[in-house]
């Protein structure tokens, strides 16, 4: 609608941003309502930002500002802040127990200002142990989930191997879940590459020989001398 009336009643108007030399066409109702005062949104944002700074400049410390072109206030570049260096021999107060202890009694934390944790090691152990007990203790099923199998599948495979390791037939407290590294190259496999259950010693031996059959044959030939 504004484009149809522009040829009849529109008048030229300078952009109200003082650094802009563009002219715009404004309709009578736009002039009356105070609309279309800038040529684009960039000029409007700059003018509003400058006006907001001019209104609040009296409340600020004038020594921190310099006046630039067009009476615009520019904040002076502040000197870099001094980096506080912590004394490695100075003690530190624990946020949990409130005791003053040596810095060696705190664990490392890169996110903190001094590079140490806010609680001492003993308080950290107490807090983690309490949380461990509240969550029901150790969950042994996490090993099976990472390999994509269930506890029933693990026990069935172990029973099919005679109740022990697939190589040495021994049963230890911590049996390892073996998988085909050619299928899943990471430290954990899936249900498709699950091969069997090994003891820690046999699992390590197979890993050190890189699961290469030629190396196994050479090892057997060497041991038969």
Contact 149, 184 (CB under 8 A): no
Q: What is the pLDDT of residue 203?
A: 92
> How far is 178 from 206, CA to CA, in rounded Å?
10
Any domain includes 84 = no
User: What pLDDT, on a 0 to 100 scale, did the predictor assign at position 122?
Assistant: 93
Q: Are 25 and 48 in contact (CB under 8 A)?
A: no
Q: Domain check: are 218 and 168 in the same one?
A: yes
Count of the separate structural domains present in the chain: 3
125-145 b/e (C-beta count within 10 Å ≥ 16 → b): eeeeeeeeeeeeeeeeeebbe
Band (80; pLDDT cuts 50, 70, 90): low
Question: Residue 79 — pLDDT band, cuts 50, 70, 90?
Answer: low
Flag whether 82 is in a domain.
no
Of the listed ranges 108-117, 140-149, 162-171, the least confidently predicted one is: 140-149
Q: What CATH number should be reported for the domain holding residue 205?
A: 3.40.1800
Greater pLDDT, 101 or 186: 101
Q: What is the pLDDT of residues 15-50, one digit of tens each?
A: 777 777 777 776 666 655 556 677 777 777 777 666
Instruction: Confirm whether 106 is domain-assigned.
Output: yes
Q: Residues 71, 96: one domain?
A: no
- Give this prediction's pTM: 0.42
> Is residue 83 situated within a structural domain?
no
Kindly state whether residue 181 falls inside one of the protein's structural domains. Answer: yes
Radius of gyration of the chain (CA): 37
User: Which is more confident, 115 or 63?
Assistant: 115
Backbone angles phi, psi at 157, to 5 degrees: -65, -40
Tell me the percentage of the chain whose pLDDT exceeds 70.
70
Domain termination site, one of 75, 107, 126: 75
Domain of 164 in residue numbering reads as 141-223
The span from the CA of 58 to the CA of 64, in Å, is 12
| The pLDDT of residue 106 | 93
Is 178 found in the same domain as 218? yes
Query: What percent of the chain stands above pLDDT 90?
Result: 28
Q: Give the pLDDT score at 54.
A: 44
Helix residue ranges, H only, the chain: 2-9, 28-33, 41-56, 121-134, 141-146, 151-160, 200-208, 213-223
Collect contacts of 184-191 with beta carbons under 8 A, ≥24 apart.
188/146, 188/147, 189/147, 189/148, 190/147, 190/148, 191/147, 191/148, 191/149, 191/153
**pLDDT (0 to 100) of residue 119:** 94
Question: What average pLDDT does this structure show over 110-138?
Answer: 84
- Assess contact for 13 and 24: CB atoms under 8 A: yes
Q: How confident is the model at residue 56 (pLDDT cuts 50, 70, 90)?
A: very low
Residue 81 within any structural domain of the chain: no
**pLDDT at position 34, please?**
54
For residues 101 and 71, state if they share a domain. Answer: no
Is 86 inside any structural domain?
no
Q: Based on the domain organization, do 62 and 24 belong to the same domain?
A: yes
Q: In the chain, what's the furthest Cα-to-Cα distance? A: 109
What residues contact residue 116 under an 8 Å CB cut-off, 6+ apart?
92, 103, 106, 107, 108, 109
pLDDT of amino acid 146: 82
Q: Are residues 16 and 46 in the same domain?
A: yes
Are 110 and 149 within one domain?
no
Residues 16 and 48 in one domain: yes
Q: Helix (H, G, I), strand (E, B), or coil: what is residue 120?
A: strand
- 29, 32, 33, 26: which is closest to 11 by C-alpha? 26
On whether residue 28 sits in a domain, the answer given is yes
Task: Dump pLDDT digits (tens) for 148-178.
Answer: 888 899 999 999 999 999 999 999 888 999 9
Specify whether the CB–CB gap between 34 and 44 falls below 8 A: no
Is the per-residue pLDDT at 123 higher than 90? yes
Question: Based on the domain organization, do 9 and 63 belong to the same domain?
Answer: yes
Rounded alpha-carbon distances, angstroms, from residue 5 to 23, 27, 37, 41, 73: 18, 8, 18, 23, 41
pLDDT of residue 4: 42
Do 111 and 150 lie in one domain? The reply is no
């Amino acid at each position: 609608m504004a484009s149809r009336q522009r040829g009849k009643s529109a008048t030229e108007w300078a952009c109200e941003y003082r650094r802009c030399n563009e002219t715009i066409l404004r309709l009578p109702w736009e002039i009356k309502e105070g609309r279309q005062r800038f040529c684009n949104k960039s000029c409007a944002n700059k003018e509003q930002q400058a006006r907001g700074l001019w209104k609040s400049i009296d409340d600020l410390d004038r020594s921190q500002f310099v006046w630039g072109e067009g009476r615009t206030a520019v904040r002076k570049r502040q000197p870099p802040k001094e980096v506080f260096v912590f004394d490695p021999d100075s003690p530190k107060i624990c946020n949990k127990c409130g005791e003053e202890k040596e810095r060696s009694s705190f664990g490392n934390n890169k996110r903190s200002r001094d590079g140490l944790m806010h609680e001492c090691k003993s308080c950290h152990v107490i807090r983690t142990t309490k949380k461990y007990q509240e969550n029901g203790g150790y969950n042994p099923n996490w090993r099976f989930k990472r390999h994509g199998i269930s506890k029933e599948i693990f026990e069935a495979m172990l029973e099919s191997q005679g109740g022990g390791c697939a190589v040495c037939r021994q049963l230890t407290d911590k049996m390892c879940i073996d998988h085909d590294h050619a299928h899943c190259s990471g430290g954990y496999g899936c249900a498709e590459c699950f091969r069997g259950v090994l003891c820690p010693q046999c699992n390590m031996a197979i890993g050190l020989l890189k699961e290469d059959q030629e190396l196994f044959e050479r090892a057997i030939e060497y041991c038969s001398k």
